[in-house]
Amino acid sequence: MVTYYLSVDDVFKALADPTRRSLLDELFKQDGQTLGALEARFPGMTRFGVMKHLKVLEGAHLVVTRRRGREKLHFLNVVPIRLVHDRWVSKYAEPWAAHLSELKQGLEKKTMEKIYEIYIKTTPQALWKAIIDTEMRRKWNFGAIVTSDFTPGSRFEGRGGGQLILEGENIEVDPPRRLVQNFRALWSEEAKAEGTSRVTYEIEQIRDSCLLKITHNQLREGANAQLYGGWPMALSGLKTLLETGEMLTTPGSLRWLEGSSEREEPAVARHLSVK
Protein backbone atom coordinates (compact mmCIF):
# COMPACT_ATOMS: atom_id res chain seq x y z
CA MET A 1 0.00 0.00 0.00
CA VAL A 2 2.91 2.37 0.70
CA THR A 3 4.35 1.96 -2.80
CA TYR A 4 0.88 2.44 -4.27
CA TYR A 5 0.18 5.74 -2.55
CA LEU A 6 3.66 7.07 -3.28
CA SER A 7 3.06 6.27 -6.94
CA VAL A 8 -0.31 8.03 -6.92
CA ASP A 9 1.20 11.14 -5.30
CA ASP A 10 3.90 11.23 -7.97
CA VAL A 11 1.31 10.90 -10.72
CA PHE A 12 -0.82 13.76 -9.35
CA LYS A 13 2.29 15.94 -8.95
CA ALA A 14 3.40 15.22 -12.52
CA LEU A 15 -0.04 15.94 -13.97
CA ALA A 16 -0.40 19.20 -12.04
CA ASP A 17 1.87 21.07 -14.49
CA PRO A 18 0.28 22.11 -17.83
CA THR A 19 3.55 21.70 -19.73
CA ARG A 20 3.91 18.12 -18.58
CA ARG A 21 0.33 17.44 -19.58
CA SER A 22 1.16 18.88 -23.00
CA LEU A 23 4.15 16.54 -23.27
CA LEU A 24 1.85 13.59 -22.56
CA ASP A 25 -0.53 14.90 -25.21
CA GLU A 26 2.32 14.96 -27.73
CA LEU A 27 3.22 11.35 -26.90
CA PHE A 28 -0.44 10.46 -27.17
CA LYS A 29 -0.45 11.85 -30.71
CA GLN A 30 2.83 10.16 -31.65
CA ASP A 31 4.49 7.66 -29.35
CA GLY A 32 8.21 6.84 -29.26
CA GLN A 33 9.64 10.37 -29.76
CA THR A 34 13.21 11.54 -29.17
CA LEU A 35 14.10 14.49 -26.94
CA GLY A 36 14.88 16.53 -30.05
CA ALA A 37 11.47 15.84 -31.56
CA LEU A 38 9.70 16.82 -28.36
CA GLU A 39 11.86 19.94 -27.99
CA ALA A 40 10.81 21.06 -31.48
CA ARG A 41 7.17 20.98 -30.39
CA PHE A 42 7.88 23.51 -27.61
CA PRO A 43 9.76 26.36 -29.36
CA GLY A 44 9.47 28.64 -26.33
CA MET A 45 11.26 26.22 -24.01
CA THR A 46 14.93 25.30 -23.73
CA ARG A 47 16.17 21.77 -24.21
CA PHE A 48 17.07 21.67 -20.51
CA GLY A 49 13.51 22.66 -19.59
CA VAL A 50 12.02 19.84 -21.66
CA MET A 51 14.48 17.40 -20.07
CA LYS A 52 13.44 18.51 -16.57
CA HIS A 53 9.77 17.93 -17.30
CA LEU A 54 10.46 14.54 -18.87
CA LYS A 55 12.46 13.56 -15.78
CA VAL A 56 9.44 14.28 -13.57
CA LEU A 57 7.17 12.26 -15.89
CA GLU A 58 9.66 9.38 -15.85
CA GLY A 59 9.79 9.57 -12.05
CA ALA A 60 6.01 9.13 -11.98
CA HIS A 61 6.33 6.28 -14.57
CA LEU A 62 4.02 8.13 -16.94
CA VAL A 63 6.83 8.10 -19.49
CA VAL A 64 9.25 5.22 -20.10
CA THR A 65 12.31 5.25 -22.33
CA ARG A 66 14.01 2.80 -24.61
CA ARG A 67 17.33 2.97 -26.46
CA ARG A 68 17.25 2.28 -30.18
CA GLY A 69 20.72 2.65 -31.61
CA ARG A 70 21.96 6.10 -30.63
CA GLU A 71 18.46 7.41 -30.01
CA LYS A 72 16.57 7.49 -26.73
CA LEU A 73 12.84 7.16 -27.40
CA HIS A 74 10.09 8.26 -25.02
CA PHE A 75 6.86 6.25 -24.68
CA LEU A 76 3.61 6.99 -22.90
CA ASN A 77 2.89 4.51 -20.06
CA VAL A 78 -0.84 4.42 -19.25
CA VAL A 79 -0.69 2.04 -16.27
CA PRO A 80 -0.28 4.74 -13.55
CA ILE A 81 -3.26 6.59 -15.02
CA ARG A 82 -5.20 3.32 -14.87
CA LEU A 83 -4.29 2.92 -11.18
CA VAL A 84 -5.52 6.45 -10.47
CA HIS A 85 -8.70 5.58 -12.33
CA ASP A 86 -9.22 2.43 -10.25
CA ARG A 87 -8.76 4.33 -6.98
CA TRP A 88 -10.39 7.70 -7.69
CA VAL A 89 -12.61 7.54 -10.76
CA SER A 90 -14.33 4.19 -11.22
CA LYS A 91 -16.32 4.29 -7.99
CA TYR A 92 -17.83 7.62 -9.05
CA ALA A 93 -18.34 7.08 -12.76
CA GLU A 94 -17.97 3.40 -13.64
CA PRO A 95 -20.19 3.38 -16.77
CA TRP A 96 -17.93 5.69 -18.76
CA ALA A 97 -14.58 5.95 -16.99
CA ALA A 98 -12.98 3.02 -18.81
CA HIS A 99 -13.26 4.90 -22.10
CA LEU A 100 -11.26 7.82 -20.69
CA SER A 101 -8.31 5.73 -19.52
CA GLU A 102 -7.73 3.82 -22.77
CA LEU A 103 -5.12 6.02 -24.49
CA LYS A 104 -4.61 5.33 -28.19
CA GLN A 105 -1.08 5.90 -29.45
CA GLY A 106 0.30 5.76 -32.97
CA LEU A 107 3.77 5.84 -34.51
CA GLU A 108 4.57 7.25 -37.95
CA LYS A 109 6.11 4.01 -39.13
CA LYS A 110 4.99 0.63 -40.41
CA THR A 111 4.96 -1.04 -37.01
CA MET A 112 4.34 0.21 -33.49
CA GLU A 113 4.87 -0.97 -29.94
CA LYS A 114 3.17 -0.42 -26.61
CA ILE A 115 5.06 -0.39 -23.30
CA TYR A 116 3.47 -0.75 -19.87
CA GLU A 117 5.20 -0.65 -16.47
CA ILE A 118 3.86 -1.42 -13.01
CA TYR A 119 5.43 -1.89 -9.57
CA ILE A 120 4.10 -4.77 -7.48
CA LYS A 121 5.00 -5.59 -3.87
CA THR A 122 5.91 -9.24 -4.40
CA THR A 123 8.83 -11.54 -5.26
CA PRO A 124 10.03 -12.39 -8.78
CA GLN A 125 9.08 -16.03 -8.20
CA ALA A 126 5.51 -15.17 -7.14
CA LEU A 127 5.11 -12.77 -10.08
CA TRP A 128 6.42 -15.36 -12.53
CA LYS A 129 3.96 -17.94 -11.16
CA ALA A 130 1.07 -15.50 -11.55
CA ILE A 131 1.97 -15.12 -15.24
CA ILE A 132 2.33 -18.82 -16.12
CA ASP A 133 0.04 -20.60 -13.63
CA THR A 134 -3.34 -21.36 -15.22
CA GLU A 135 -5.48 -20.72 -12.15
CA MET A 136 -3.70 -17.54 -11.09
CA ARG A 137 -3.69 -16.21 -14.65
CA ARG A 138 -7.46 -16.76 -14.87
CA LYS A 139 -8.01 -14.46 -11.88
CA TRP A 140 -6.35 -11.40 -13.43
CA ASN A 141 -6.73 -12.14 -17.13
CA PHE A 142 -10.53 -11.90 -17.23
CA GLY A 143 -11.19 -15.63 -16.90
CA ALA A 144 -8.97 -16.82 -19.76
CA ILE A 145 -7.77 -20.41 -19.28
CA VAL A 146 -4.15 -20.19 -20.50
CA THR A 147 -2.18 -23.46 -20.70
CA SER A 148 1.38 -24.31 -21.75
CA ASP A 149 4.44 -26.11 -20.46
CA PHE A 150 6.33 -22.82 -20.94
CA THR A 151 9.48 -24.19 -22.50
CA PRO A 152 11.28 -22.48 -25.41
CA GLY A 153 9.50 -23.26 -28.66
CA SER A 154 6.40 -24.66 -26.98
CA ARG A 155 2.83 -23.64 -27.80
CA PHE A 156 0.45 -21.82 -25.47
CA GLU A 157 -3.29 -21.34 -25.88
CA GLY A 158 -6.09 -19.56 -24.08
CA ARG A 159 -9.73 -20.55 -23.93
CA GLY A 160 -12.85 -18.72 -22.80
CA GLY A 161 -16.39 -19.99 -22.82
CA GLY A 162 -15.10 -23.25 -24.29
CA GLN A 163 -13.65 -21.50 -27.34
CA LEU A 164 -10.04 -20.93 -28.39
CA ILE A 165 -9.52 -17.16 -28.01
CA LEU A 166 -5.73 -16.78 -28.21
CA GLU A 167 -2.64 -18.79 -29.08
CA GLY A 168 1.06 -18.45 -29.73
CA GLU A 169 4.57 -19.76 -29.12
CA ASN A 170 7.01 -19.28 -26.26
CA ILE A 171 10.13 -17.83 -27.90
CA GLU A 172 12.28 -17.15 -24.83
CA VAL A 173 11.68 -18.53 -21.31
CA ASP A 174 14.04 -17.35 -18.55
CA PRO A 175 12.31 -17.76 -15.16
CA PRO A 176 11.74 -15.65 -13.18
CA ARG A 177 13.06 -12.77 -15.26
CA ARG A 178 11.91 -12.80 -18.88
CA LEU A 179 9.26 -14.38 -21.09
CA VAL A 180 8.95 -13.62 -24.81
CA GLN A 181 5.94 -14.88 -26.77
CA ASN A 182 4.50 -14.69 -30.25
CA PHE A 183 0.82 -13.84 -29.82
CA ARG A 184 -2.27 -14.29 -31.98
CA ALA A 185 -5.72 -13.06 -30.93
CA LEU A 186 -8.63 -15.20 -32.11
CA TRP A 187 -11.60 -13.80 -30.20
CA SER A 188 -13.05 -11.82 -33.12
CA GLU A 189 -12.63 -11.52 -36.86
CA GLU A 190 -11.08 -8.06 -36.40
CA ALA A 191 -8.53 -9.45 -33.96
CA LYS A 192 -7.68 -12.43 -36.18
CA ALA A 193 -7.01 -10.06 -39.08
CA GLU A 194 -4.17 -8.41 -37.12
CA GLY A 195 -2.05 -11.57 -37.35
CA THR A 196 0.91 -12.27 -35.07
CA SER A 197 2.47 -9.77 -32.67
CA ARG A 198 4.97 -10.20 -29.84
CA VAL A 199 4.62 -9.80 -26.07
CA THR A 200 7.62 -9.59 -23.73
CA TYR A 201 7.37 -9.81 -19.93
CA GLU A 202 10.39 -8.50 -18.01
CA ILE A 203 10.68 -8.77 -14.21
CA GLU A 204 13.19 -6.74 -12.20
CA GLN A 205 13.43 -7.07 -8.41
CA ILE A 206 13.72 -3.79 -6.52
CA ARG A 207 14.16 -4.58 -2.82
CA ASP A 208 10.81 -5.95 -1.59
CA SER A 209 8.99 -5.16 -4.84
CA CYS A 210 9.17 -5.98 -8.54
CA LEU A 211 9.01 -3.85 -11.66
CA LEU A 212 7.04 -5.63 -14.37
CA LYS A 213 7.49 -4.26 -17.88
CA ILE A 214 5.23 -5.44 -20.68
CA THR A 215 6.34 -4.67 -24.23
CA HIS A 216 3.75 -5.45 -26.91
CA ASN A 217 5.37 -4.86 -30.29
CA GLN A 218 5.43 -6.02 -33.90
CA LEU A 219 1.97 -4.47 -34.14
CA ARG A 220 1.08 -2.93 -37.46
CA GLU A 221 0.69 0.83 -37.55
CA GLY A 222 -2.89 1.61 -36.50
CA ALA A 223 -3.49 -1.91 -35.17
CA ASN A 224 -6.91 -2.63 -33.69
CA ALA A 225 -7.00 -1.67 -29.99
CA GLN A 226 -8.50 -5.08 -29.18
CA LEU A 227 -4.96 -6.44 -29.18
CA TYR A 228 -3.51 -4.13 -26.53
CA GLY A 229 -6.33 -2.09 -24.96
CA GLY A 230 -6.87 -4.51 -22.08
CA TRP A 231 -3.33 -4.35 -20.60
CA PRO A 232 -3.93 -1.50 -18.10
CA MET A 233 -6.93 -3.24 -16.51
CA ALA A 234 -5.23 -6.66 -16.54
CA LEU A 235 -2.07 -5.34 -14.86
CA SER A 236 -4.13 -3.52 -12.24
CA GLY A 237 -5.81 -6.85 -11.51
CA LEU A 238 -2.44 -8.63 -11.32
CA LYS A 239 -1.13 -6.07 -8.82
CA THR A 240 -4.24 -6.38 -6.64
CA LEU A 241 -4.15 -10.18 -6.72
CA LEU A 242 -0.51 -10.43 -5.64
CA GLU A 243 -0.67 -7.69 -3.00
CA THR A 244 -4.05 -8.52 -1.44
CA GLY A 245 -4.99 -12.00 -2.64
CA GLU A 246 -8.25 -10.62 -4.01
CA MET A 247 -9.63 -10.16 -7.52
CA LEU A 248 -9.99 -6.55 -8.67
CA THR A 249 -13.44 -5.51 -9.87
CA THR A 250 -13.02 -3.96 -13.32
CA PRO A 251 -15.27 -3.74 -16.38
CA GLY A 252 -13.31 -6.71 -17.74
CA SER A 253 -13.84 -8.90 -14.68
CA LEU A 254 -17.53 -7.98 -14.53
CA ARG A 255 -18.00 -8.97 -18.17
CA TRP A 256 -16.27 -12.27 -17.46
CA LEU A 257 -18.61 -12.97 -14.54
CA GLU A 258 -21.62 -12.07 -16.68
CA GLY A 259 -20.40 -14.30 -19.50
CA SER A 260 -19.77 -17.19 -17.09
CA SER A 261 -23.29 -17.05 -15.71
CA GLU A 262 -25.08 -16.43 -19.00
CA ARG A 263 -22.87 -18.69 -21.19
CA GLU A 264 -22.64 -16.00 -23.84
CA GLU A 265 -19.75 -14.73 -25.94
CA PRO A 266 -16.42 -15.17 -24.06
CA ALA A 267 -16.02 -12.27 -21.70
CA VAL A 268 -12.33 -11.94 -22.54
CA ALA A 269 -13.21 -11.13 -26.13
CA ARG A 270 -15.84 -8.59 -25.10
CA HIS A 271 -13.49 -6.92 -22.64
CA LEU A 272 -10.56 -6.63 -25.01
CA SER A 273 -12.77 -4.95 -27.57
CA VAL A 274 -13.39 -2.06 -25.14
CA LYS A 275 -11.70 1.04 -26.50
3 state SS of 141: coil
pLDDT bracket for residue 83 (50, 70, 90): confident
Residues 118 and 220 in one domain: yes
Mean pLDDT of 210-231: 93
- Number of folded domains in the chain? 2
Residues 232 and 207 in one domain: yes
Nearest to 251 by CA among 228, 264, 267: 267
The model's pLDDT over 13-35, given as tens digits with 9 standing for 90+, comes to: 898 999 999 999 999 889 999 99
Cβ atoms of 248 and 241 within 8 Å: the answer is: yes
Residues 127 and 196 in one domain: yes
Angle at 213 between CA 150 and CA 25, to 5 degrees: 140
Residues 118 and 42 in one domain: no
The model's pLDDT over 116-146, given as tens digits with 9 standing for 90+, comes to: 999 999 999 999 999 999 999 999 998 999 9
Mean pLDDT of 92-112: 51
CATH of residue 63: 1.10.10.10
Per-residue pLDDT at 195 exceeds 90:
yes
The answer to which of 210-214, 241-245, 260-264 has the lowest mean pLDDT is 260-264
- Please tell me the pTM assigned to this model: 0.60
pLDDT of 8: 73
How much is the mean pLDDT over the chain? 84
